[in-house]
A and B are shown apart, each in its own frame.
Chain A
């Protein structure tokens, strides 16, 4: 089985990289981009039967820093 973890900076935490991307899009002529937030996707190959709770534990302990980031887990 696989799990896909999406890690994003929490709302309200300034994302200077996302801001730089927004400016770059503007200078390419893409108008109307109000905001850009940049995060990461982590794909995990897991033993069958691994629970979402275990993946959550992985996120809390290592994959995300919950002081500044939030995460979503997709199991497939």
Chain B
């Protein structure tokens, strides 16, 4: 199983993501944002957290228009798997691969703490390790994680079982407590919380470990 982690200027969770994917048995290549082609034969592309391009203009807006993102978009449109965490979710929303947008947190403050998430669906390679309704403790670290979309879009996401995770204690004002959403083909996931920061006992929590361990198996059979 092969994965690529895209590195933008200002990414700061790229190595954490690579470590979690490697620990789960994936063969990981780091890809610089100015590259135009992804390595051949990828099973997964991961967009990591951080502050790509200093969050200038809007979080993720400039990264979404970088050369590699054209290839990431093509990979997703071919049915490839893409995982975006935190800034990666913001980038996926800016590319239009996922609906909605991430606004400034309702309380205006940057929030960095571990928060309980509810698993909202088991039906994806990213969430099938968990039981629907299970609570998992995963860190968040963002200033702009307030998920918003028009009411019809939010209703559609819920009807189509495309909400992956919700916040048990909504920290940022997100519509319907949404913490992560899936694409229509369920292969693109964007989420604000960081499972890669709860993937090893030394992180202080391991609730994110099944996310990665099961992802490898699920990709193999996808």
Contacts and interface: CB of A to CB of B under 8 A. Distances in A.
A20 B105 CA distance: 12
Most chain B CB within 10 A, of A13, A62, A63, A65, is at: A65
B219 interface: no
A67 B101 CA distance: 7
A17 B108 contact: yes
B104 A17 contact: yes
B74 interface: no
A16 B61 contact: no
A14 B61 contact: no
A14 B173 CA distance: 10
A67 B173 contact: no
Contact of B100 (A14, A63, A67): A67
A16 B106 CA distance: 6
A63 B62 CA distance: 10
A9 B147 CA distance: 14
Interface in A20-70: 20, 61-63, 65, 67-68
Interface string B91-115: 0011000011101111110000000
Contacts of A13: 103, 148
A40 to B, nearest CB: 9
Contacts, number: 35
A63 B64 CA distance: 12
Contact of A68 (B57, B62, B101, B107): B101
What band does the interface of chain B fall in when counting residues whose beta carbon is under 8 Å from A?
20 to 34
Contacts of A63: 57
A65 B104 contact: no
A71 to B, nearest CB: 13
A13 B173 CA distance: 12
Contacts of B149: 67
B147 to A, nearest CB: 11
A63 B146 CA distance: 20
B101 A16 contact: no
B63 to A, nearest CB: 11
Contacts of A20: 108
Contacts of B61: 62, 65
B58 interface: yes
Nearest to B106: A16
B131 interface: no
B65 interface: yes
A61 B108 CA distance: 27
Interface in B159-197: 173
A23 to B, nearest CB: 10
B108 A16 contact: yes
A47 B57 CA distance: 22
Q: Which 6 A-B pairs have the closest CB atoms?
A: A68-B101, A67-B101, A16-B104, A16-B106, A16-B108, A20-B108
